[in-house]
């Protein structure tokens, strides 16, 4: 066997060993498998690289030079391939922040408005189209706006401390400093007085907000709820206008098939006074939505309007009621618990 044959054999074996080692390192699925292959190829005593190095001894000087160079290159490449494979497996086992771009994304859930806020916004929108502006008043009120100016005399049972949240310390928004003169408003009718005191007729406003009454909480009662108050004062405003506006509102908000009904009632600040009932979806039960009536001349006088010149109507509807009827909610408490599983449905 000539020296040349031995060299070409040795080079061919070296080439094969290099290919096998490369495939073994790159194909190792676990650090354990890679370590076994490292011993097989790069092991100090019995490794295949070590054996390839041994081949040098049998070669003549010229062949040694050629083979030696190839051997060094092959060894360096295998060592590098091993390090790369090792780093790849380490990353897979320890780097939990590695991003797998093939996983489906987690959609971001958009927040939205609370059903009561939605109802309030819809009311503002609807009445806005009927020409009603939005008015506001404070939730901490004085008894003048909550009672006196609304023609509720000092001895009236509506003032009973058991039916109202009076505040022990005075200092309300109008400066009423006397204890017992301040309270959490029990009705949004207070805003009627604030609006009429601030401006001359004609008036066409709604006021939406919280009111407070010490009711025992159950499926239809809460110590705090929301009202939408409406007030229209002008020359020649009649009960027919009140009925038209409320019917138009009911049909716009609840559907064309809605019917409304007025039942005679009493409020100190309206005369005549009515309770407003609504019936819809061909329902058999009339549902009370709130109170209404023609603004009492005493109220007009209290704010400096002339009852001989102008007349007006007012109404106060419960927003929770409207919201619950529209969405089929059967317990008012659901509206205040803020359970996202409930809120998500609207
Ligand atoms: N304020 C009355 C209530 O809370 C409702 C109402 C408003 C009645 C306006 C007549 C006119 O019960």
The domains found in the chain, sorted by start residue, are 7-98 (no CATH), 115-343 (3.30.930.10)
Compute the residue count for the chain.
Answer: 346
Q: Kindly state if the Cβ of 172 falls inside 6 Å of ligand 1.
A: no
Residue nearest to atom 4 of ligand 1 (CA): 187
**HSE on the CB side for 31, CA within 13 Å?**
9
Tokens found for residue 32: 């354990």
Residues of the chain short of pLDDT 50, as ranges, are 1, 172, 175-177
Tokens found for residue 56: 């040098």
E-strand ranges in the chain read 133-135, 140-142, 165-166, 182-184, 203-212, 224-234, 259-267, 270-279, 287-295, 311-318
Nearest to 286 by CA among 270, 275, 272: 275
Q: How far is the CA of 248 from the centre of ligand 1 (A)?
A: 19
Q: How far is the CA of 293 from the centre of ligand 1 (A)?
A: 8
The phi and psi torsions of 9 (rounded to 5 degrees) equal -60, -50
What's the order of all strands across the beta sheet hosting 203-212? 133-135, 203-212, 224-234, 311-318, 287-295, 270-279, 259-267
Q: How far is the CA of 207 from the centre of ligand 1 (A)?
A: 12
For position 109, what pLDDT does the model report?
Answer: 83
Residue nearest to atom 12 of ligand 1 (CA): 291
Q: What are the residues whose beta carbons fall under 8 Å from the beta carbon of 55, sequence distance 6 or more?
A: 10, 13, 14, 67, 71
Q: Kindly state if the Cβ of 225 falls inside 6 Å of ligand 1.
A: no
What pTM, to 2 d.p., does this model score?
A: 0.69
- How far is it, in rounded angstroms, from Cα 241 to Cα 248? 10
For position 147, what pLDDT does the model report?
Answer: 97
- How far is it, in rounded angstroms, from Cα 140 to Cα 266? 25
For position 176, what pLDDT does the model report?
Answer: 47
Q: Kindly state if the Cβ of 322 falls inside 6 Å of ligand 1.
A: no
Q: Quick one: which atom of ligand 1 is closest to the CA of 295?
A: 11
Tokens found for residue 232: 């229209």
Q: How far is the CA of 115 from the centre of ligand 1 (A)?
A: 23
Q: Kindly state if the Cβ of 292 falls inside 6 Å of ligand 1.
A: yes
Read off the DSSP letter of residue 293.
Answer: E
For position 175, what pLDDT does the model report?
Answer: 46
Identify which of 184, 193, 316 to mutate to test ligand 1's pocket (most ligand atoms within 8 A of the CB): 316
Q: Kindly state if the Cβ of 317 falls inside 6 Å of ligand 1.
A: no
For position 287, what pLDDT does the model report?
Answer: 82
Tokens found for residue 229: 């108050």
End-to-end CA separation in angstroms for the chain: 91
For position 244, what pLDDT does the model report?
Answer: 94
Nearest to 191 by CA among 308, 269, 307: 269
């Amino acid at each position: 066997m000539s020296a040349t044959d031995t060299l070409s054999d040795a080079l061919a074996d070296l080439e094969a060993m290099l290919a096998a080692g490369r495939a073994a390192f790159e194909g190792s699925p676990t650090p354990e498998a890679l370590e076994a292959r490292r011993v097989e190829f790069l092991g100090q005593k019995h490794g295949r690289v070590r054996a390839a190095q041994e081949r040098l001894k049998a070669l003549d000087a010229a062949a040694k030079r050629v083979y030696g160079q190839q051997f060094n290159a092959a060894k360096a490449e295998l060592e590098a391939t091993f390090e790369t494979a090792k780093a790849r497996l380490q990353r897979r086992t320890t780097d939990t922040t590695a991003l797998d771009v093939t996983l489906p994304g987690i959609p971001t859930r958009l927040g939205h408005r609370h059903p009561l806020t939605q109802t309030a916004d819809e009311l503002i929108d609807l009445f806005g189209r009927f020409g009603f502006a939005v008015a506001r008043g404070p939730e901490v009120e004085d008894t003048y706006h909550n009672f006196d100016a609304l023609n509720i005399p000092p001895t009236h049972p509506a003032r009973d401390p058991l039916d109202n949240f009076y505040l022990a310390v005075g200092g309300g928004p109008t400066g009423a400093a006397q204890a017992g003169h301040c309270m959490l408003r029990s009705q949004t009718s207070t805003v009627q007085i604030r609006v009429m005191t601030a401006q001359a007729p004609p008036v066409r406003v709604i006021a939406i907000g919280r009111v407070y009454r010490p009711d025992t909480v159950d499926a239809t009662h809460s110590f705090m709820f929301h009202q939408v108050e409406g007030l229209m004062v002008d020359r020649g405003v009649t009960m027919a206008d009140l009925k038209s506006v409320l019917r138009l509102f009911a049909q716009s908000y609840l559907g064309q098939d809605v019917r409304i009904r007025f039942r005679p009632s009493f409020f100190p600040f309206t005369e005549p006074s009515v309770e407003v009932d609504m019936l819809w979806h061909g329902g058999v039960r009339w549902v009370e939505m709130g109170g209404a009536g023609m603004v009492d001349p005493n109220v007009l006088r209290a704010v400096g309007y002339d009852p001989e010149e102008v007349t007006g109507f007012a109404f106060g509807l419960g927003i929770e009621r409207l919201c619950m009827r529209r969405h089929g909610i059967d317990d008012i408490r659901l509206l205040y618990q803020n359970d996202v599983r409930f809120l998500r449905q609207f």
